[in-house]
Amino acid sequence: MKFIPSALLLLFAATFFCVWLLERRRRHLLFFALAFAAVGGGTIVQFALWPPDIGYNTIVSAMLYAAGPLLLVEGVLARSGRSMPLALHAAWFAAIVGVLCYFYYVDNNLQIRVYALNIGMGCIVLSGAWKLRDLVRGNVIDQAMVWLLFGLGVTFFVRVLLDKSSIPSDDIGAFFESEFWIWAQFSMSVLGAASGLGLLVVVCADIVLALKAERDTDPLTGLLNRRGLQGREARLHPVGGHKPLSVVACDIDRFKGINDRFGHAAGDVVLTGFGGIIRRSLGKGDVAARTGGEEFVMVLKDRTVDDAFALTERLRREIASLSFSELPDDFRVTCSFGIAQFHPGEDLWDAIARADKILYAAKRAGRNRTFAEGVQLPSAA
């Protein structure tokens, strides 16, 4: 029975390792696997009293226990594209192992070793939660990760405070029969299972959201695809109809001719560049999608038709001034725009259809121009 916590921890280590084998780009999964393996190994060292020499056992278990939270925190940070400096890792590790060695070989005090180990592990985990505090304002998954880390860190302090009176000062035999040790085994099992399940839920949510984003994103331009735009339709509708919303239909002029003359690789370069320009022009709350081969849609929140017209004119001039790597230096790519105002109660796709009609009016008028409801550019500048 005493090896139940170890078995649970190693089971989660194996689970995260297997998931990492399937998702190698998510390197934080490997850190999670190593973290659970390290703490699981530490419990085995203590429960089995191997090595049997208490001094060596103290050093080995301290190294494993110190490595566990450090690897866990590094994994959580890696998930958000961050990391803890290697020097800080080394400092935490050396501090915990050093203190435990001192209070065995120099001033033998089991009670202080227990305090130092638990407080050190708790401080490491809480420092990770502190580094990620800005994620509390993020999405639900990010918030759950921060609070999971915070809760785990606090438990190391709580379990020492609750049972500190039951920790003997130097009797190893009495320690393994103390209330603290019994509570430690129970809490290790519960915390190990709770932490492991919590992290698995976060990992599964990350994978599902990534798959959803991949499904809804055009791989060439990085913009939304038609399905992605449909999925965001509800949140794009202006609340109460009080704020303006402009819909812009875009089309690269004579794009088929570019593919026919210079090849599809050149066409892909143009699409990628065009998508990048659109992405950089978007404001907070704006959305852009590639809805067809060379067809794009922008939904601009809190922008009147005049605002959208000014924006698209800047885009049109910027695109016309660019040179693309797969095209001759003197070849210029142009595009046309149609702008419609979203009407309260209107379906988004009805507004897109109106913008599309205005776009084709611009193309019939000679291309390389912007037409909008109530505003026209009669000739290209």
The pLDDT score that the predictor gives to residue 74 is: 97
Quick one: which of 376, 343, 346 has its CA closest to 361?
376
Residue found under tokens 């056992």: 57
**Residue 311 C-beta-side C-alpha neighbours within 13 Å:** 26
For residues 284 and 172, the model is more confident at 284
The mean of the pLDDT values for the chain is 87
Confidence band, pLDDT 50/70/90 cuts, at residue 87: very high
What CA–CA distances, in Å, run from 234 to 39, 83, 231, 326, 351? 46, 37, 7, 39, 14
Print burial letters for 69-105: b (CB count within 10 Å at least 16), e (below 16): bbbbbbbbbbbbeeebeeeebeebbeebbebbeebbe
The pLDDT score that the predictor gives to residue 377 is: 47
- Residue 239, pLDDT > 70, answer no
Give the whole-number percent of the chain exceeding pLDDT 70: 89
181-221 confidence digits (pLDDT tens): 666 676 667 778 888 999 999 999 999 988 888 899 999 99
Mean pLDDT of the 126-150 span: 92
2-44 confidence digits (pLDDT tens): 677 788 899 999 999 999 999 999 999 999 999 999 999 998 8
Contacts for 261 with CB less than 8 Å, ≥ 6 apart: none
* Strands annotated E in the chain: 245-252, 287-290, 295-301, 335-341, 370-372, 375-376
- Residue 91, pLDDT > 90, answer yes
For residues 235 and 223, the model is more confident at 223
For residues 180 and 85, the model is more confident at 85
The torsion defined by the Cα of 226, 232, 233 and 238, in degrees rounded to 10, comes to -140
**For 116-120, 176-180, 367-371, which range has the lowest pLDDT when averaged over its residues?**
176-180
Quick one: which of 307, 302, 380, 379 has its CA closest to 339?
307
What tokens does 358 get?
């205005």
The pLDDT score that the predictor gives to residue 191 is: 77
Handedness of CA 64, 69, 72, 77 (dihedral sign): negative
End-to-end distance of the chain based on CA atoms, in angstroms?
Answer: 81
The pLDDT score that the predictor gives to residue 53 is: 85
pTM of the entire predicted model: 0.77
The pLDDT score that the predictor gives to residue 381 is: 41
- Residue 353, pLDDT > 70, answer yes
Confidence band, pLDDT 50/70/90 cuts, at residue 379: very low
Residue found under tokens 């690897």: 71
Confidence band, pLDDT 50/70/90 cuts, at residue 260: very high
**Residue 175 C-beta-side C-alpha neighbours within 13 Å:** 17
Confidence band, pLDDT 50/70/90 cuts, at residue 225: very high
274-318 confidence digits (pLDDT tens): 999 999 999 888 999 999 899 999 999 989 999 999 999 999 999
